[in-house]
Amino acid sequence: MQKLTNKEEEIMHILWKLKKAFVKEILAEITEEQPHYNTLSTIVRNLEEKGFVSHNAFGNTHQYFPVVSLEEYRKRFMHTAIDHYFNSSYKNMVSHFAKEEKISAAELREILAMIEQQEQSN
């Protein structure tokens, strides 16, 4: 699975939200710096070439839909980020967020409880 550009990720998030959409519907969802219609159409076609979306044709217009789920992409992205930025260590990742005060002790306890529950169910 190829890494997406920031703009491609933005478009994918819109498609994951809408489930299926024409380019004009995607354009309507972009709140900041709307690209030209043709530029957006090119980005969507690039996503299709990369295997992230497909389309149904209605005459000359296409309705696009995601082929890769948000969960699939998230899983791949997280593994890559953890490998590259935290030396493949989830402990290093959690420690980083704790030091940056992005996660609280209460949230860490919740995570531990989920892990313990998962281990008990296996």
The 10s digit of each residue's pLDDT in 6-28 is 999 999 999 999 999 999 999 99
The predicted pLDDT at position 121 comes to 85
User: What does each C-alpha distance from 97 to 20, 29, 71, 73, 108 come to in angstroms?
Assistant: 35, 31, 22, 22, 10
pTM over 0.85: no
